[in-house]
Amino acid sequence: MFLSSGYRGIGDSGRSSQSSPVGVSRRGFLAASAAGVGANLVADMSAINGLRSAAMASELKRQDKRVILLWLAGGASQFETWDPKPGTKTGGPFRAIPTNVSGIRISELLPGLAERMQHTAIIRSLNTKIADHGTAAALMECGRRDDPGIRYPDIGAVVARELGRLESKVPDYVSLYTSTEGRRKGTSGFLGSRYAPMFLSESMTPANILRSDSITDIDHRDRAALREAMAKRFVAQSKSHSVDSQMSAYQRVHGLMASADLFDVEHEPADVRARYGPTQFGEQCLIARRLVEAGVPFVKVARAWWDSHGQNFETHRELCADLDHCMSALLDDLEQRGLLENTLVITLGEFGRTPSINASLGRDHFANAWSCSLSGAGVRGGVAYGETDAEGQTVVDGEANAGDLFATILAALGIDHEHEYMLGARPIPLSDFGSRPIEAVLG
Amino acid sequence: MPTDLEPSSPEPVATAPLPTQVVVDATYSLPGIAFCCAAGEPPTTIYAGLSDFAIHRIDTAAEKPQPIRLGEASHDSYVTGLVRAGDRLISGGYDGALIWWNAADGEQLRRIETAHDKWIRGLAITPDATRLVSVADDMRTKVWDVATGEQIADWGDHEVKTPQGYPSMLYAVALSSDGQWLATGDKTGEVLVREFSGAAGSIVARLQTPVMYTWDPRARNHSIGGIRSLAFSNDGQSLAIGGMGKVNNIDHLEGPSRLEIFDWQAGVKLHEIEDTQFKGLVEALRFAPDDRWLIAAGGDHSGFVSIYEVGEGKLLAQSKTGSHVHDISLAPDATSLVTVGHQQATKVLL
Amino acid sequence: MRFPTCLAFSVWLFSAIASAEELLPIDSDVAEVIDHYVDERLERYEIEPTPPADAATYLRRAALDLAGRIPTTAEYAWAEELPESERREAIVEHLMSLADFDFHLRNSLDELLLSNRPHDGEFREYLLWAVRSGRSWDQIFRDLLLARPAEGPERGAAQFVRSRVRNLDDLTNDTAMLLFGVNIACAKCHDHPLVDQWQQDHYFGMQAFFSRTFATRKNVLTERPFGEVKFKNTAGEEKVAAFTFLSGVSVEDQTIDFADDERKRLEEQLRKLERDEKAGYVLFPDFSPRRELVDVALRDEEYRYFAKNIVNRTWERLMGLGLVDPPDQMHDGNLPSHPELLEWLAEHLVANRYDLRGLIRGIVMSDAYSRSSRLVTEERPPSPTTFARALTRPLTPRQLATSLLVVARGPAEFPAAERQPDIGWARFRNDLENQAGGWVREFERPTENFQVSVDEALFFSNSDRVQNDLLRDSGGSLVGRLLAIDDDRELLRQLWIRVLGREPLDDEVSTGLAWLSRDATERSDAIRSLAWAVITGPEARFNH
């Protein structure tokens, strides 16, 4: 669609000090952004990404893997979701129901997901030890504990970097967190801002994604092309990755602006919207599907706030109903579109909840024996991995920590979890030192 | 849990002095969380339904009262409603089942496995012990023949979903002492009053108590609260409604305990009473035999028993009771009561 | 096993890389010493440095580093007229004499000390007061660790400790990293496999200095009169940590041994202090471990940690890369690129009573600082650790914000170098400092491997703020002034000088003329778009 015009003369003139492309049309300016500088920068960016061999990277990306992380913020109860203990002192009032996979029972609060267990692997044996919100959330987002002086990237940034396309016209990490309690943006850590999430909180329209009325579309594109052309010499002479990153950030602007519609569920047929239901979480799950369908590698949808210190059972009746309905709709929709085999849907929070039930009929923070789930891409569905004791106090089989879960997620996506980033002289593997994928849940 | 079973004194003693104190006289530990209770015969014998799915009997007149499990049978979930009909007990649970028991030996006399599709939240029984009413989270109000176990009526009318699209809950039920009126209260703060005599069930009043329901759209995106207790005055004129006021942090039961009293037939709210000292849910309400005062009990982590003068809505006395109170049983002479709740029961003197 | 990210810290700071006698005389000129040691290595490795940056580039770089903003058009015009032999010195003297210098040094210290932590205005006020009143770095250090909220102008300094007081690990690690250049966190869980047992003792030894620190309910910082740090070593034995500095030197424990009932009474008072808003007293024990830490860190041989850290961090800020990199990894597994230089600068700083101004002036006056950052050939760039060329550095959020405001509304007439102090400018600059606060959060703080985010590109491309504030065409604004110029060449010249601090090159003029003469576009729109393209270009985004 871009015209190859006389504009190229301007780009070259930086070196030759020749002049004058007088009469260059407005279209001419437009042409430059794709034809000239852009191509150079893609090459430069792959130098930044040179840690992985180009062949391997493209092989991975051909598989088109995606992730939707349903972040159960505040900490959902494993008893009321994936690891029910009915009839025990700690089990609470709810029953366990059979699923469509024989031998696996989950809480009666998740009847829809019970009918879709063939897609899902449950991990019932997380022991992540940390039970305060902030530290635990950081641990479960980044898969390891913080080391002073090192800012670790979270799982979204790692996946964005490993699976994102440099030339992508859509964002490669989108994070939705509308509630204010426990709101966390996510972090790309040492991977840098290129992999930072596009963060949506107050509004489902990303900030600054729509063109101001005070400038026409053609002028908007033309001035970007002018900027690009005039920057060329400085970029070439700087030989700096940071400088290159500024250029590539601007090159992504128009692609992202074109993706604004992805965030608008009005573009979905009424029957599809109806299936996801009227809740905010349902709408955001639908946005997540639109995004992965368009090629966004990582979408995080936070559903807050599960921190049921009082009225745990009432809270879970509400929130599990939301989770069950929306995630069921999401899995069905992904499957019908042929996306589920390439899309990994995760439920995870910062921790689970105590076996003991307090006097306010609440459950408190608990990280020693809790659950999460993986569905879809790379996962062996219909598996319940790991085991807690009869009252859910401790893990008795298959204990896994945050690093192991990360290794598992990466493995499900076909990413080598032992691959190392070099941070200066420090080698840092994608998932924490000594972590291992849980093979039993991998397809 | 409201279990309106003590037959009220037929002749209110108008001259009886108002109580001036609430004193916890004794505390008994329970092997679980008690959600409901009913007085036996003699009334010092208390039956309680627990989180261990069973019924326990406590003889509060004994020197060292010990809870004793009643019979072999049990629910498949928490026992959340319990009433007495003569020498029988009837219980309901989160399993949706109703069980008839022999109060003396605990024999299971009848079991209706699927009385409701969801969790039974409370039971009430007519003064003549012929009709049983159950409410549950399927948002149905059902009437049962106590003698035969036959279902006589099944009413909907409470909204199944909250305005935000989440499952609602039907927590509270009460019958007037003459058996003429039935009140049911749900999570969002709506009370329906029906004409119950003859089980026609036509709705004669709708009362709204929206403060009882806290929806937090912004910080936490879910809700807390609901109507947790109901009681008619003995003259049938007033209806007391218990729950919790607006809560800032809905992770905890840290809102003010809240009580509203209506002249329900006129649709006039007589009192709104909030207590920010003793916080949490008002789980149980009883009018005194002369209707001049009432008892409100409940709690957050800890429990409370408060007594209010009805005419002015004034607090007369109150006390902490240790842990959260889920239900009470008032002695026929209204000088003492037993609370049951989180891992414990207490005897309270007024 | 986590040790691959944890490198040993130990004793090179004391090892004889270069004994004091071998160093250049301590009263030598700082810039000359820098060039001596940097050039020595360039010669040894036969690396040809880039030529000196031109006058305009040097002015812009120095203005950003000393004044925290780009030069104004008045400064540009003034500097162009300076004779080459005096230029560098005149520019540095001018910039360091401005109110800007104090603001920028304050902002730099603020970013170092309290980067992402909860902030209060008081901390920034304190730093500005400290910088303006010529407080030395060791005095600032004392203020940071010892200030109490109720006292004098130093009270704002307490936020350094207060913002970390609820997390003992943070307090210990951040003090070690930010003030001593040593990251000891790795020694918490295990000893380094290659170094002696003392490592774990070390971590907890440092922690012991802070373990008694707490904030009362009214947020007053104080210390308990007793309490110890216990830890289980890798052998599983429980040990009590001595008050031990990073060098291994321990401080005598002068804790008063209270009788049981006295201790009980004190504990009760302390509990009340922590919980009760109405507690009408504060206890300050005679023996203050934090004060002991300050004393030990500044004495004998121990001061070198403290001195080298600030030298290295100042060097990193001005040169783009520390002599030790990363700056929190000063240990024998990570030697400095120029050990003698670091040693000399640290000794010089101490000899000059920790005066940061002298250090900063020396660095920006050096040839090493003044080189061109451009590579005109296709050759591979020289290793950055040789400082053979100036490194291109992203502007900090504050540098960028303040520079954008200078572009948008900087008047042409000041600051005037010949009119000091320039009261008009000082007032204007104070406003800029305040206004910049509103823009700062739009930009990311530079870190290792810094990349510009697409959020920033979207912000510049589409936000109302850029369109309305930066590109408006009212009288004194950038676009307004350009609109008043009829001669397109002069317009381009003004735009380039104002935004980039230099004259446009021929091809840029050609492009600009072509742009302005395009058909079917309002002139004001054409100028606005052109200004946008220059302002958002990489040359304006980086210090080069």
- Looking at residue C448, what is its pLDDT? 73
Buried b (16+ CB within 10 A) or exposed e, B24-45: beeebebebbbbbbbbbeebbb
On whether residue A13 sits in a domain, the answer given is no
Q: Residue C4 — very low, low, confident or very high, per pLDDT cuts 50/70/90?
A: very low
Q: Are residues A346 and A334 located together in one domain of the fold?
A: yes
Query: In angstroms, what separates the C-alpha of A210 from chain B's closest C-alpha?
Result: 25
Residues 6 or more apart whose CB falls under 8 angstroms from that of B195 comprise B180, B181, B182, B201, B202, B204
Picking from B259-263, C439-443, C510-514, which range would have the lowest pLDDT averaged per residue? C439-443
Q: Is A269 on the interface with B (CB under 8 A)?
A: no
Q: Give pLDDT tens digits for A156-174.
A: 999 999 998 777 788 999 9
CB–CB of A373/A124 below 8 Å? Answer: no
What's the ipTM? Answer: 0.93
Contact list, B165 vs chain A (CB under 8 Å): 277-279
The proportion of chain B whose per-residue pLDDT surpasses 90, expressed as a percent, equals: 93
Q: Give pLDDT tens digits for A251-296.
A: 999 999 999 999 999 999 999 999 999 999 999 999 999 999 999 9
**What is the per-residue DSSP string for A363-395?**
--EE-SSEEEEEEETTB-SSEEE-EE-TTSSSE
Query: What does the block give as tokens for A368?
Result: 């020693």
Contact list, B343 vs chain A (CB under 8 Å): 359
- Looking at residue C192, what is its pLDDT? 46
- Looking at residue A48, what is its pLDDT? 37
- Looking at residue C123, what is its pLDDT? 94
Give the Cα separation of A277 and A330 in Å (integer).
11
On whether residue A15 sits in a domain, the answer given is no
Q: Which of A314, A324, A364 to mutate to test the interface with B (most CBs of B within 10 A)?
A: A314
pLDDT above 80 (res C478) = yes
Question: Half-sphere exposure (CA, 13 Å, Cβ side) for C415?
Answer: 28
pLDDT above 80 (res B303) = yes
Q: What is the mean predicted confidence (pLDDT) over A96-117?
A: 98
Strands A198-200 and A174-176: parallel
Domain-ending residue, one of A248, A263, A278: A263
pLDDT above 50 (res A37) = no
Contact list, B76 vs chain A (CB under 8 Å): 86-87, 95
Q: What is the mean predicted confidence (pLDDT) over C49-76?
A: 96
The proportion of chain C whose per-residue pLDDT surpasses 90, expressed as a percent, equals: 60
Return the closest-CA partner of residue A117 out of A362, A306, A359, A385: A385
Work out the end-to-end distance of chain B between its first and last CA atoms, rounded to an integer number of angstroms.
20
Query: Cβ contact (<8 Å) for A223 and C532?
Result: yes
Q: Is A357 on the interface with B (CB under 8 A)?
A: yes
Q: Is A23 on the interface with B (CB under 8 A)?
A: no
Q: Residue C14 — very low, low, confident or very high, per pLDDT cuts 50/70/90?
A: very low
Q: What is the mean predicted confidence (pLDDT) over C131-140?
A: 96
Q: Residue B197 — very low, low, confident or very high, per pLDDT cuts 50/70/90?
A: confident
Residue of B nearest to A180 (CA): B219
Subunits next to B (3 or more Cβ pairs <8 Å) are A
Q: Does C have 3 or more CB contacts under 8 Å with B?
A: no
Q: How far is residue C134 from each of residues A121, C32, C137, measured CA to CA in Å?
A: 64, 25, 9
Q: Are residues A250 and A155 located together in one domain of the fold?
A: no
Q: Indicate the number of domains in chain A.
A: 2
Query: What does the block give as tokens for C490?
Result: 């002069």
Contact list, B251 vs chain A (CB under 8 Å): 74, 305, 307-310, 362
CB–CB of C464/A212 below 8 Å? Answer: yes
Chains A, C: CB contacts within 8 A come to 213
Return the closest-CA partner of residue C214 out of C258, C161, C169: C161
Q: Is A94 on the interface with B (CB under 8 A)?
A: yes
Return the sign of the alpha-carbon dihedral for residues B75, B79, B80, B85: positive
On whether residue A18 sits in a domain, the answer given is no
Q: Are residues A232 and A293 located together in one domain of the fold?
A: no
Q: Are residues A173 and A61 located together in one domain of the fold?
A: yes
Query: Cβ contact (<8 Å) for B33 and A280?
Result: no
Query: What does the block give as tokens for B21?
Result: 């104190």
Q: Give pLDDT tens digits for C255-275.
A: 888 889 988 998 888 888 888
Query: Cβ contact (<8 Å) for B94 and A179?
Result: no
CB–CB of B203/B157 below 8 Å? Answer: yes
Picking from B279-288, B314-323, C165-174, which range would have the lowest pLDDT averaged per residue? C165-174
Q: Give pLDDT tens digits for A124-141.
A: 999 999 999 988 999 999
- Looking at residue C220, what is its pLDDT? 84
Give the Cα separation of B31 and B349 in Å (integer).
24
Query: Cβ contact (<8 Å) for A433 and C1?
Result: yes
Q: Residue A58 — very low, low, confident or very high, per pLDDT cuts 50/70/90?
A: very low
Order the strands of the A383-385 sheet from edge to edge: A198-200, A174-176, A298-304, A66-73, A343-348, A370-376, A120-126, A383-385
Work out the end-to-end distance of chain A between its first and last CA atoms, rounded to an integer number of angstroms.
42
Q: Residue B89 — very low, low, confident or very high, per pLDDT cuts 50/70/90?
A: very high
Residue type, B79: V
Q: Are residues A60 and A178 located together in one domain of the fold?
A: yes
Strands B293-299 and B281-287: antiparallel
Subunits next to C (3 or more Cβ pairs <8 Å) are A
Please name the residue ranges forming H helices in C320-450. Answer: 339-351, 356-365, 367-370, 397-409, 423-440
Subunits next to A (3 or more Cβ pairs <8 Å) are B, C
Q: Are residues A227 and A150 located together in one domain of the fold?
A: no
On whether residue B295 sits in a domain, the answer given is yes
Query: Cβ contact (<8 Å) for B221 and A311?
Result: no
Residues 6 or more apart whose CB falls under 8 angstroms from that of C245 comprise C205, C206, C251, C293, C296, C297, C302
3-state secondary structure C241-296: CCCECCCCCECCCCCCCCCHHHHHHHHHHHHHHHHCCCCCCCCCCCCCHHHHHHHH
Picking from A151-165, B146-160, C96-110, C194-208, which range would have the lowest pLDDT averaged per residue? C194-208
pLDDT above 50 (res C350) = yes
Q: Residue C331 — very low, low, confident or very high, per pLDDT cuts 50/70/90?
A: confident
Range of the domain at B228: 36-307
Q: Is C507 on the interface with A (CB under 8 A)?
A: yes
- Looking at residue B11, what is its pLDDT? 53
Q: Is the peptide bond before A148 cis (omega within 30 degrees of 0)?
A: no
Contact list, C542 vs chain A (CB under 8 Å): 238, 240, 242-243, 246
Q: What is the CA radius of gyration of chain A?
A: 24
On whether residue A209 sits in a domain, the answer given is no
Return the sign of the alpha-carbon dihedral for residues C44, C48, C49, C52: positive
Give the Cα separation of B138 and B133 in Å (integer).
14
Q: Are residues A77 and A32 located together in one domain of the fold?
A: no
pLDDT above 50 (res B229) = yes
At B137, which CATH number? 2.130.10.10
Give the Cα separation of B154 and B131 in Å (integer).
13
Mapped onto helix, strand or coil, the DSSP state of residue C68 is: coil
Q: What is the mean predicted confidence (pLDDT) over C30-57?
A: 96
Q: Are residues A285 and A408 located together in one domain of the fold?
A: yes
Residues 6 or more apart whose CB falls under 8 angstroms from that of A3 comprise A27, A28, A30, A31
Contact list, C321 vs chain A (CB under 8 Å): none
On whether residue A405 sits in a domain, the answer given is yes
Q: Residue A42 — very low, low, confident or very high, per pLDDT cuts 50/70/90?
A: very low
- Looking at residue C232, what is its pLDDT? 78
Question: Half-sphere exposure (CA, 13 Å, Cβ side) for A49?
Answer: 24
pLDDT above 80 (res C377) = no
CB–CB of A284/A176 below 8 Å? Answer: yes
Give the Cα separation of B238 and B270 in Å (integer).
9
Mapped onto helix, strand or coil, the DSSP state of residue B33 is: strand
Give the Cα separation of B316 and B306 in Å (integer).
8
At A329, which CATH number? 3.40.720.10
- Looking at residue A30, what is its pLDDT? 39
On whether residue A16 sits in a domain, the answer given is no
Q: Which of A88, A273, A318, A363 to mutate to test the interface with B (most CBs of B within 10 A)?
A: A318
Chains A, B: CB contacts within 8 A come to 95
- Looking at residue A3, what is its pLDDT? 26
Residue written as tokens 């001595």? Answer: C242
Query: Cβ contact (<8 Å) for A243 and C538?
Result: yes
Q: Which of residues 208-237 of B touch A (CB under 8 A)?
A: 218-224, 226
Buried b (16+ CB within 10 A) or exposed e, C333-367: ebebbbbbbbbbbbbbbbebebbbeebbbbbbbbb
pLDDT above 70 (res A51) = no
Sort C116 into a burial class: Cβ within 10 Å, 0-12 / 13-18 / 19+.
exposed
Range of the domain at A189: 53-204+265-441
CB–CB of B259/B285 below 8 Å? Answer: yes
Q: Give pLDDT tens digits for C216-245.
A: 888 888 898 888 888 877 777 888 888 999
Question: Half-sphere exposure (CA, 13 Å, Cβ side) for C356?
Answer: 33
Q: Which of C454, C470, C479 to mutate to test the interface with A (most CBs of A within 10 A)?
A: C454
- Looking at residue A5, what is its pLDDT? 28
Q: Is A90 on the interface with B (CB under 8 A)?
A: no
Q: Give pLDDT tens digits for A311-362.
A: 999 999 999 999 999 999 999 999 999 999 999 999 999 999 999 999 999 9
- The residue ranking higher by pLDDT, A56 or C229, is C229
Q: Are residues A222 and A356 located together in one domain of the fold?
A: no
pLDDT above 80 (res C496) = yes
Q: Is A315 on the interface with B (CB under 8 A)?
A: yes
Q: Indicate the number of domains in chain B.
A: 1
- Looking at residue A373, what is its pLDDT? 98
Q: Give pLDDT tens digits for B28-74.
A: 999 999 999 999 999 999 999 999 999 999 999 998 899 999 999 99
Query: In angstroms, what separates the C-alpha of A165 from chain C's closest C-alpha?
Result: 14
- The residue ranking higher by pLDDT, B273 or C7, is B273
Return the closest-CA partner of residue B2 out of B83, B85, B70: B83
Give the Cα separation of C142 and C165 in Å (integer).
17
Q: What is the mean predicted confidence (pLDDT) over A77-100?
A: 97
**What is the per-residue DSSP string for C467-484?**
IIIIS--STTSHHHHHHT
Specify the DSSP class assigned to residue C118.
-
